[in-house]
Amino acid sequence: MAKSIQTVASTWPDVHRPSQSHTRAQKSAARREAILAAALDEFSAQGFAATRIDDVAKRAGVAKGTIYLYFHDKEELFQELVRTMLVPHVSALAAAQPGERPVRDLLESFFELFVREIYGTKRRNLLRLVMTEGPRFPKLAEFYYHEVVERALAAMRVLIERALARGELKNEALLQFPQLLVAPCIVAIVWSGLFDRYAPLDISAMMHAHLDLLFGARKPA
Amino acid sequence: MAKSIQTVASTWPDVHRPSQSHTRAQKSAARREAILAAALDEFSAQGFAATRIDDVAKRAGVAKGTIYLYFHDKEELFQELVRTMLVPHVSALAAAQPGERPVRDLLESFFELFVREIYGTKRRNLLRLVMTEGPRFPKLAEFYYHEVVERALAAMRVLIERALARGELKNEALLQFPQLLVAPCIVAIVWSGLFDRYAPLDISAMMHAHLDLLFGARKPA
Amino acid sequence: MAKSIQTVASTWPDVHRPSQSHTRAQKSAARREAILAAALDEFSAQGFAATRIDDVAKRAGVAKGTIYLYFHDKEELFQELVRTMLVPHVSALAAAQPGERPVRDLLESFFELFVREIYGTKRRNLLRLVMTEGPRFPKLAEFYYHEVVERALAAMRVLIERALARGELKNEALLQFPQLLVAPCIVAIVWSGLFDRYAPLDISAMMHAHLDLLFGARKPA
Amino acid sequence: MAKSIQTVASTWPDVHRPSQSHTRAQKSAARREAILAAALDEFSAQGFAATRIDDVAKRAGVAKGTIYLYFHDKEELFQELVRTMLVPHVSALAAAQPGERPVRDLLESFFELFVREIYGTKRRNLLRLVMTEGPRFPKLAEFYYHEVVERALAAMRVLIERALARGELKNEALLQFPQLLVAPCIVAIVWSGLFDRYAPLDISAMMHAHLDLLFGARKPA
DNA sequence: TATGAATGAGGATTCATTCAT
DNA sequence: GATGAATGAATCCTCATTCAT
């Protein structure tokens, strides 16, 4: 049901597999990426405060001091991490593609994308990290609000309006709270951090249930 | 719209305002409460790792050592905090009240209760703490899963089934994912931690929008 | 071979089994004894620094504060312990009984007494404690030197002189270093603390070997 | 009387005076030595429990944290100290030198060596530490038993057997308790810790008296 | 640039001692 | 006298950050 996603996905920067690099600048960039990748693992496993620069360095295969050549301090590393590795993806999600297709199909694509590119990857942890540490990093939260949330909500509103216009949706309630449209994403992130070991969640199914609730159940093909 | 909640709420222990106490046991309990209250403030402002026992002590008006008379270590303080101050309320929420009223009314009461007793109090921060620090406290997560989540989801399922039986709901999707029923609560908690200063959320309105989406919009009285 | 010891032993204060007491003074004395007995166990198991007043109190069956009614502080408790519970016994040992018996018999009695009343009891630990902590308690060491060691050495010298006069000993070397006469006692104390679990020492046999070396082997009876 | 000792002694590593060092490895080793030397002073003055890492650091001229680069914790520092600075010397002592000389001469060399290399140095305090703190460091005690004591006693037995064979000793008692041969060393260590300030011991003279007692007095040259 | 040894401020925890009951 | 809750100084250990090489 989400055939159009590939195109979008393929245009994303692949932050995790820097190509072989030979120039100084390329090497430097690769190193930066390696540090960020290591930081992602450590921060999302331990949280900001409990993560040790030492461990990030070890995981990145560089010396501790090297990290300070690329990032001014631990906090900057953290903020850079979140900005660099999450924003492009979330922005892509937010950039909902208009067109003639039914809005429900678009949303299905959207959720598929979310599941595959965020939830099914380490970025899930990063997203949780934003929720976890955001309150203590107002700058980060503000950045996120403006760079991601505002835009995403605006995009959602566009979709909702079209759905209302097309008669796919009857209820205007969503227009006021587009958050409700993405609520299952939040739930999935939170749930996976806490309860996955006790009761793993079939998040794709949940997304469909969510859409069924909003748009009415689909007739089985 | 939620007139029946008062009764329930009024029977809850008011953990935050211990009465004047004179016996040793009372004093001791009062001190414990003071420490927990201070811990709530500090933990929810700083998170687990960044909170200093010293600050909790100062805020509670006791010496650092005193905290260790009541709690074995920082971790136990944190876990006790969450168990003591959140579980009774969340349990109460989970104990969905049967009766002849429409399910939607019950859910409205439920959300009202949530807004008033959790979201509108410091317990909101506590709940956020569970969501964010939980991944690093597996025991806490397990405890929550069994004590709160399982029960809450079961209660939700009962309500959903009744709503289906009564014809209030048409769609069985919710039965499989009762999480979707409470998703707005999760969203509200996360949002408030991150973005309230940029865009405060009218959570009551959002709850109503949510119910409108599920049950169909109410005709204006 | 040490039949005469009983008498001596029987006149010693039995510090460990205070009789039932009813007057206030008796009760108080009993409590003091209980604290000292508990302190003995704890100090000799943990050493001075690692012993907690709390544990002494628990073991003595009194409240922590009570200890401070009987002893000014931890250090005084320690010094009192050593003075009260060791000096009488060591003094008794030092008070070598002259008489007509061969000196070797006297020494055998002496060593028997040591084995039975010191080495075979908790006082062994106490004695080790003096060796352990003495360097950091100069007052204690001084007290010991004057109250115990000087006197004991003087008594040893008397015995040695008599042995020389009687022809039991040929060599005057001991006169200059009576420490050598009691060296096996020191060795036994040290050994038992360190190596008993790997190689328990038959201390009585060692004492006899020691005497055999000094006085010549006895012909088998 | 102990002319042959020099040679042996001169081959020992002089752990206390690391040479000027320039390579990183040398610097690192020098630092380690400095810490160990400082630890020796502090531990032997205060005992294990009362010694503060801070003071060791100050005395070694390094920062507190530096100590933890070289030793995992206080306990490891202590154990390393004892192993590194004592074992080589004690082992050397234990490696009794065979030859054609009279056993008594060998023992005189042995005691001279002990007096010069252990008793006359800070290692005396270290040895006292083993004796006094050993009971609370079972691993250390076990290590010592197998690395030092067992070997030393075996070496002593060899010497004693030869002395018996050569007719230097008449009495077989020592064979069973070679501890008695080294008892004066123990006594000297204990005495020096406790009573040196009140009555310093002429340990060389005591050693000779001891040998005179065992082997019979020497005719004055 | 890269390294990793060194630093030392910071924070959790312990425990001797006090004191209100 | 007896209690044990409360105190807070003391101390171990960690880890972000610096800097000589």
Encode burial over B12-33: b for 16+ CB neighbours within 10 A, e otherwise.
Answer: eeeeeebeeeeeeeeeeeebbb
Which pLDDT value is given to residue D95? 67
Alpha-carbon gap, residue B114 to B95, rounded angstroms? 13
Cα dihedral across residues A217, B1, B7, B10: positive or negative: positive
* Domain extent listing, chain C: 20-71, 79-221
How many Å lie between the alpha carbon of B157 and the closest alpha carbon of chain A? 15
Topology given in CATH for the domain delimited by C79-221: Tetracycline Repressor; domain 2 (1.10.357)
d(CA A52, CA A48): 9
State whether CATH 1.10.357 applies to domain D75-221.
Answer: yes
Least Cα distance to B40 among B88, B89, B85 occurs for: B85
Tell whether D194 is within 8 A of chain C (Cβ): yes
Contact A173 B210 (CB under 8 A): yes
DSSP string across D148-208: IIHHHHHHHHHHHHHHHHHTS---THHHH-THHHHHHHHHHHHHHHHHTTTS---HHHHHH
A135 near B CB under 8 A: yes
- Residues of D with CB below 8 A from C190's CB? 131, 186, 190
pLDDT the model gives residue A41: 93
Distance, in Å, from the CA atom of A146 to the CA atom of A112, rounded to the nearest integer, reads: 24
Q: Using CA coordinates, name the residue in chain C closest to D48.
A: C49
Do C46 and C132 contact (CB within 8 A), yes or no?
no
The span from the CA of B65 to the CA of B80, in Å, is: 17
Q: What is the DSSP letter of C11?
A: T
**Residue A120 φ/ψ, nearest 5 degrees:** -85, 5
**For residues B104 and B219, is the Cβ–Cβ distance under 8 A?**
no
Which long-range CB contacts under 8 A does B7-14 form with residues at least 24 apart?
A: B8/B92, B8/B97, B8/B113, B9/B113, B9/B116, B9/B117, B12/B88, B12/B89, B12/B92, B12/B117, B13/B88
The parts of chain B modelled with pLDDT lower than 70 are 1-22, 94-98, 219-221
Q: Does D173 touch chain C (CB under 8 A)?
A: yes
pLDDT one-digit tens code per residue, A48-84? 999 999 999 999 999 999 999 999 999 999 999 988 8
Whole-angstrom distance, CA of residue D43 vs CA of residue D78: 8
Three-state SS at B78: helix
Distance of CA C7 to the CA centre of its chain: 18
Which H, E and C letters describe chain D, residue by residue? Answer: CCCCHHHHHHCCCCCCCCCCCCCHHHHHHHHHHHHHHHHHHHHHHHHHHHCCHHHHHHHHCCCHHHHHHHCCCHHHHHHHHHHHHHHHHHHHHHCCCCCCCCHHHHHHHHHHHHHHHHHCCCHHHHHHHHHHHHHHCHHHHHHHHHHHHHHHHHHHHHHHHHHHHHCCCCCCHHHHCCHHHHHHHHHHHHHHHHHCCCCCCCHHHHHHHHHHHHHCCCCCC
At residue D220, the pLDDT reads 59
Whether the CB-CB separation of C33 and C13 falls below 8 Å is answered with: no
Q: Which two tokens stand for residue D186?
A: 């123990």
CATH 1.10.357 assigned to domain A80-221? The reply is yes
D23: number of CA atoms within 13 Å, CB side?
3
pLDDT at site A13: 47
What does CATH list as the number for B16-71?
A: 1.10.10.60
Q: What is the spatial distance between Cα C206 and Cα C192, in angstroms, rounded to a whole number?
A: 13
Determine whether the distance from the CB of C31 to the nearest atom of strand F is below 7 Å.
Answer: yes
Alpha-carbon gap, residue B128 to A126, rounded angstroms: 17
DSSP 8-class letter at D97: -
* Nucleotide nearest B69, from its CA to each C1': F5
- Which of the nucleotides lies closest to B67 (Cα–C1')? F6
Given B138, B183, B190, which is nearest A131 (Cβ)? B190
Torsion of CA B144, B148, B149, B155, to 10 degrees: 170
A59, A38 Cβ separation under 8 angstroms: yes
The pLDDT assigned to A216 comes to 87
Name the residue closest to the C1' of E7 by its CA: D63
Nearest to C80 by CA among C95, C67, C62, C64: C67
Residues 10-39 of B with CB under 7 A from strand F: 24, 27-28, 31
Q: Where are the beta strands (DSSP E) in B2-142?
A: none
Tell me the C-alpha distance between A181 and A177, whole Å. Answer: 8
Q: Quote the CA–CA distance of A67 and B67 in Å, as a whole number.
A: 38
**Strand F and chain A: which residues 91-120 have CB closer than 7 Å?**
none
Minimum-distance CB partner of D194 among C46, C135, C208: C135
DSSP B121: S
- Rounded to the nearest angstrom, the gap between the alpha carbon of residue A88 and the centroid of all alpha carbons in its chain is 9
Q: Are the beta carbons of A166 and A107 closer than 8 angstroms?
A: no
| pLDDT tens per residue across all 221 residues of chain C | 433 333 333 344 444 444 455 677 888 999 999 999 999 999 988 889 999 999 999 999 999 999 999 999 999 999 999 888 877 777 777 665 667 889 999 999 999 999 998 999 988 988 888 888 888 888 889 988 988 889 889 989 999 999 999 999 999 999 999 999 999 999 999 999 999 988 999 999 999 999 999 998 776 55
Structure tokens at B48: 């687990």
> Count of CB atoms within 10 A of residue D114's CB?
25
Per-residue confidence at D22, pLDDT binned at 50, 70, 90? low
Which residue among B180, B184, B191 sits closest to A206, beta carbon to beta carbon? B180
Neighbours of A63 (CB within 10 A): 12
Give me chain D's average pLDDT, please.
85
Of C46, C48, C194, the CB nearest to D141: C194
Closest to D184 (Cβ–Cβ): which among C142, C180, C213? C180
In order, the DSSP letters of A184-211 are HHHHHHHHHHHHTTTS---HHHHHHHHH
Cα distance between residue A98 and residue D11, in whole Å: 87
Chains touching chain B through at least 3 C-beta pairs below 8 angstroms are A
On whether any CB of chain C is under 8 Å from the CB of D50, the answer is yes
Q: Which chains touch C (3 or more CB pairs under 8 A)?
A: D
Show the DSSP H helices in chain A as ranges: 5-10, 24-46, 53-60, 64-70, 74-94, 103-113, 123-133, 138-144, 150-166, 173-176, 179-195, 203-215
Lowest mean pLDDT among A121-130, B155-164, C9-18, D190-199: C9-18
CATH class of C20-71: mainly alpha
> What are the pLDDT digits (tens) for A158-191?
999 999 999 999 999 999 999 999 999 999 999 9
Which residue do the tokens 């760079």 mark? A147
Q: How many CB atoms lie within 10 A of CB B54?
A: 12
Find tokens 């989406």 and name the residue. Answer: B213
Tens digits of per-residue pLDDT, A201-221? 999 999 999 999 999 877 655
Q: Structure pTM? A: 0.84
Residue C152's nearest CA partner among D195, D128, D213, D214 is D195
Letter for the amino acid at D136? R
Q: Does A154 contact B at CB distance below 8 Å?
A: no
CB distance C136 to D50 below 8 Å: yes
D residues 68..97 contacting C (CB < 8 A): none
pLDDT given at position C14: 46
Q: Predicted confidence band at D98 (pLDDT cuts at 50, 70, 90)?
A: low
- Which chain A residues are within 8 Å of B178, Cβ to Cβ? none
CB-based contact (8 Å) between D28 and chain C? Answer: no
* Cβ-contact C149, D195 below 8 angstroms: yes
Burial A95-106 (b: 16+ CB within 10 A, else e): ebeeeeeebbbb
Neighbour subunits, A (≥3 Cβ pairs < 8 A): B
- Hey, is B108 helix, strand or coil? helix
For the residues D26-54, what does the mean pLDDT come to? 93
Q: CA angle, A145 as apex, A142 and A150 as ends, to 5°?
A: 150
CA distance D167 to D165: 5
Domain A18-71 has CATH 3.40.720.10: no
Q: Which residues of A touch B174 (CB under 8 A)?
A: 209, 213
**Contact assessment for residue B44 and residue B151, using Cβ atoms and an 8 Å cutoff:** no
Is the CB of C63 within 7 Å of strand F?
Answer: yes
Residue C99, SS3 per DSSP: coil
- Amino acid letter at A108? E
Please write the tens of the pLDDT for every residue from D61-89.
999 999 999 999 999 999 999 888 887 77
CA distances from A157 to A92, A95, A151, C78 (A): 16, 12, 10, 79
B in contact with A (at least 3 C-beta pairs within 8 A): yes
**Nearest residue to E15 (CA, C1')?**
C52
Burial class (CB in 10 A: 0-12, 13-18, 19+), C127: buried
How far apart CA B79 and CA B81 sit, in angstroms, is: 5
Token pair 């205007």: residue:
A172
